[in-house]
Amino acid sequence: MSRIWTGRFQGYSFNHFKKDLLSGIIVGIVAVPLAMSFAIASGVKPEYGIYTAIIAGLLISLLGGSKYQIGGPTGAFVPVLLGIVLVYGYENLLIAGVMAGTMLVLMGIFKLGTLIKFIPRPVTVGFTAGIAVTIFAGQVGNFLGLTGMKQHEKFHENILEIVSHLNTVNIFSIVVAVISLVTILLTPRVLPKVPGALVGIILSAMVTILFLPGQVATIGSTYGTIPNTLPQFSIPEITFERLYLLLGPAFVIAMLGGIESLLSAVVADGMTNSKHNSNRELIGQGIANIVTPFFGGIPATGAIARTATNIKTGATSPMSGVIHAIFVLLTLLVLAPYAVHIPLASLAPVLMIVAWNMSERHHFSHILKLKSGDSLVLVITFLLTVFTSLTFAVQVGLMLAVVLFAKRMSEVLVVTKVLPDLETTEGKLLADMVSDTHDCPQISVYTIEGPLFFGAAQTFEQSILNTIHYHPRVLILRMSKVPFIDTTGEEYFRNIVRNFTEQGGKVLVTGVQSSLKQMLDANGLTEEIGQENFYTQTGDAITGAIECINHKSCNSCKHFVFRECQQLSQNKARSLKGKIYL
């Protein structure tokens, strides 16, 4: 346990505590309405969101890898959790949460936290924008006060449900929702330090109580009373059949929770010039998600907006997150009976604004304007998130991103036939020195630049074999700019070596980096090529190649490609200046 606290409270003082107390209370005030809103939008009772903010918020602050992270229910989970509740039920959601928490702990133990950097930006922006659209659309019914509606897992079915119930529009709900919306938007301008969501909910609730009693659906009329007691510990019935059934949903929760929490931690790092521990963050998130369902809470993750608010209000340590959780608990115990009067129409604008803020519209627009492969990945991930599922969207988005990456990297690979420019003192090897009338029929020199991986390996092989159809005796491969070779590249490289040596030729390799040489040693290519055929300098390789060629054929050659040619040919008509090769 001592490692958990290492560096997190070092030099902590009473002045730090005062700052954490203020920021914790402010974040707690923000968290209460959001917790209820996210729970309702996820298809569960509002108190379950509050339980999540208390328990998960406490554990994430204490055990996570970021000093400033605030955990709890978030908008990103809304469509995922709603889908699970509709298909599997609330109790199975709790089991899926425990499974997801276990996966997150294992991810942290096996140090997979750094994998977040391998998720392409177009994929994260695409599914985040898709989630935002889903959340926004899901609140239209509450905003308009529509009645008799059923929630569906599919986006288009919910839209059709809204359209088919437009005849039940409640003008009073619209008035309440507009009051809440306007208040939320204006409060930051008038009272910058006061949470607009809280003011909007309180004001619109007061209007409802005083002027519109019984005219608008409220938390109480829809979900009943909110108990002002501590969450009760209970163990859901766990069976192997349920575990197998929920494996997919749990994996989605774990992946989304891991991505969201680590993105939030990165944001916190940028705002504070600190550095989080990504693996410990995953472990902390995992433990929180294992424990919370046993108290009725829903899956939680790091909340970017609340974490940013925590930092902006002066937080100095995880204590602010602890205080935030305690404040939410006290609010539950004291004010829960009054929450039943909150209109659902008051909460709708809160979630709509959350959706608007998380939509990443500026990044979305920027990537879209690029009209590149990234734009395609973005649009497809976005559309699939909205119209199918987050799991499928991310899978397809990642596969497309990999394909595009492979295509781009294959274009980076350059295989060029070169010869020395003997008009210069250095004799630099250049591609434009090669022509039909100026080439060596016995020695071919190629410069390879870029990685030899599955996307470029075939290009590498074809570029070499297609240009040495005249079967030279020696093939020199300059590989100083090849950073790595994967197994596919290795296989094509081996094909070149075998094809060439079977025809009586010899392959010489120059300038290989030490890391690449170790790979060639390990996969057996060094042995196939021959340790003696590796050179540091191309000039030495050319000298070695000259010794292997048929000198009789040089007698009639008029190309004079290398400086040694004048010594090997009977034709002395040309004087060559080159001394060394680069």
Any idea which fold 414-568 has?
A: Transcription Regulator spoIIAA (3.30.750)
Q: How many CB atoms lie within 10 A of CB 361?
A: 13
d(CA 108, CA 101) in angstroms, rounded, equals 11
Average pLDDT, the chain: 89
Does residue 125 have a pLDDT over 60?
yes
Paired tokens of 47: 């108190």
Q: Averaged over 435-462, what is the pLDDT?
A: 87
Q: Averaged over 12-27, what is the pLDDT?
A: 91
Does residue 578 have a pLDDT over 50?
no
Q: Check residue 572 and give its pLDDT.
A: 44
Nearest C-alpha neighbor of 317 from the set 1, 10, 4: 10
Lowest-confidence pick of 216-225, 495-504, 544-553: 544-553
HEC readout, 448-494: EECCECCCCHHHHHHHHHCCCCCCCCEEEEEEEECCCECHHHHHHHH
Does residue 429 have a pLDDT over 90?
no
Who wins on pLDDT, 435 or 91?
Answer: 91
- The pTM of the full predicted model, rounded to 2 decimals, is 0.80
Does residue 88 have a pLDDT over 90?
yes
Q: Averaged over 452-473, what is the pLDDT?
A: 83
pLDDT, one tens digit per residue, over 384-394 is 999 988 889 98
Q: Check residue 386 and give its pLDDT.
A: 94
Q: Check residue 4 and give its pLDDT.
A: 47
Q: Check residue 158 and give its pLDDT.
A: 92
DSSP letter string over 229-283? SPPPP------HHHHHHTHHHHHHHHHHHHHHHHHHHHHHHHHHT----HHHHHH
Nearest C-alpha neighbor of 222 from the set 352, 135, 345, 49: 345
CA atoms within 13 A on the CB side of 260: 30
Q: Check residue 117 and give its pLDDT.
A: 67
pLDDT, one tens digit per residue, over 320-376 is 999 999 999 999 999 988 999 999 999 999 999 989 988 889 999 999 999 999 999
401-405, 426-430, 502-506, 507-511, range with greatest mean pLDDT:
507-511
d(CA 431, CA 417) in angstroms, rounded, equals 6
Nearest C-alpha neighbor of 493 from the set 530, 529, 517, 533: 529
Query: CB–CB of 390/134 below 8 Å?
Result: no
d(CA 360, CA 370) in angstroms, rounded, equals 16
Q: What single letter denotes the amino acid at residue 48?
A: Y
Q: Check residue 8 and give its pLDDT.
A: 65
Does residue 209 have a pLDDT over 70?
yes
Query: CB–CB of 512/483 below 8 Å?
Result: no
Q: Averaged over 38-47, what is the pLDDT?
A: 94
Cβ contacts of residue 199 below 8 Å, gap of 6+?
183, 184, 187, 191
Query: In the chain, which segments carry CATH 3.30.750.24?
Result: 414-568
Paired tokens of 446: 């190629």
Q: Check residue 153 and give its pLDDT.
A: 82
Who wins on pLDDT, 381 or 571?
Answer: 381
Does residue 59 have a pLDDT over 90?
yes
Q: Check residue 573 and give its pLDDT.
A: 42
Q: Check residue 17 and give its pLDDT.
A: 92
Q: Bridge-partner residues for 565, per DSSP?
A: none
Q: Check residue 123 and give its pLDDT.
A: 92
Q: Is 569 helix (H, G, I), strand (E, B) or coil?
A: coil
Cβ contacts of residue 405 below 8 Å, gap of 6+?
120, 455
Does residue 555 have a pLDDT over 80?
no
pLDDT band at 579 (very low <50, low <70, confident <90, very high): very low
Q: Averaged over 7-30, what is the pLDDT?
A: 86
Does residue 294 have a pLDDT over 60?
yes
Does residue 556 have a pLDDT over 80?
no
DSSP state of 116: G
d(CA 507, CA 501) in angstroms, rounded, equals 7
Residues above pLDDT 70, as percent of the chain:
95
